[in-house]
Amino acid sequence: MKKLDVALGERSYPIFIGSGLLGQDKISAFVGNEVMVVSNTTVAPLYLDKIQQQLTGLKVNTVILEDGEQFKNWQTLNQIFDGLLEHHHARTTTLIALGGGVVGDMTGFAAASYQRGVNFVQVPTTLLAQVDSSVGGKTAINHPLGKNMIGAFHQPVAVVIDTDVLDTLPDKEFAAGLAEVIKYGLIRDGEFFAWLEANIDRLLTRDKEALAFCIERSCWNKAQVVVEDEKEGGVRATLNLGHTFGHAMETFTEYKSWLHGEAVAAGMVMACEFSVEQGWLEHSIAERTEQLLIKCGLPTKGPSGMRSADYLELMSHDKKVRHGQLRLVLLEGLGQAVVTANYDQTRLASYLERYCAQQGGD
């Protein structure tokens, strides 16, 4: 087992990474005498009993949500509040998020809001959640006009990552997680990007040793950024490479047909291409990125029928907009991301028009 620490003073917490952790007692030390476990219809039948076995003797209730990004909304969030209130959970309760990024985000938001804030533990069961969304305390729900636009910063008290749960993860979900892994190499860890290129076949066959290193390195990168900029006032926004374009795709498709990681993959290609157009990035880096994503089985083009006007409108709701101006995460080199509004806006509009024309849009 590996242990990393997210050093945020009184809000610091550990990340445990290892095989078989759901069969060990890694959670009870971080909860009080009452617990609400939040999971979904896919994950609960597989792993809920292992969580409950760690909580013997405590008051334990469960809320089981529908599975899917389209359920990341107010109506589903209220199911968590309903469960907490119906079972009379106090401010001393602890929520446990057992599932992927959707479950983690909604459980965290519920924990941030219930009685003005209670503790929660992240137990991520998808690769994407393990390497990204479970670490850092960003919690949210979606709105029809924009993804993750309503939420709060609320750090967990622990993150427990059992690598064995990836054995049951569908290939499509696994590939979506690899998009976020590749992101770390692009924005701040060029050495890791080269390792991914050399070891992608091992990862795709879910080699245990390669996976453990991949998850640990990703979490280490995420933790370093979070410690430097917890509330996303600066460098933390670089973690959104590809997300501005990708969130627009997810919103356009109503969160139904694209996984988050798939949209991020296509969005990262767009960010790389536009960085090249700006003269900031070597074309070879954009090519290497696209080839690595293709090898993972990820999409590198956006939804057909999406117009440049759709991108611009939906991107205008992005959280990185400041004073009416959209900031983008772009690359100045491998491992060198910047968050900037100092790009040629006319060139962006022209790029989007050409891009969409190739995809069957305007």
By annotation, the residues acting in catalysis are 116, 138, 180, 222, 232, 236, 240, 243, 247, 260
Alpha carbon 178 to chain centroid, angstroms: 11
Residue 65, beta-bridge partner list: 40
Cα gap 236→153, rounded to integer Å: 13
d(CA 148, CA 73): 10
Q: Closest by alpha carbon to 35, among 158, 128, 154, 132? A: 158
Token look-up 């137990």 returns: 123
> Which has the closest alpha carbon to 93: 105, 102, 106, 80?
80
Alpha helices in the chain, H assignment, sequence order: 44-53, 74-86, 101-113, 127-128, 171-187, 190-204, 208-228, 243-252, 260-277, 283-295, 308-315, 345-359
Contact 119, 95 (CB under 8 A): yes
Residues in the chain: 362
Coil vs helix vs strand at 2: strand
Neighbours of 79 (CB within 10 A): 17
Distance CA 110, CA 156 (A): 12
Nearest CA-CA partner of 344 in 286, 276, 278: 278
Distance CA 132, CA 29 (A): 24
3-state secondary structure of 64: strand
Strand 59-65 and strand 34-40: the pairing is: parallel
Q: Which two tokens stand for residue 125?
A: 């069961």
On whether the CB atoms of residues 208 and 19 are closer than 8 A, the answer is yes
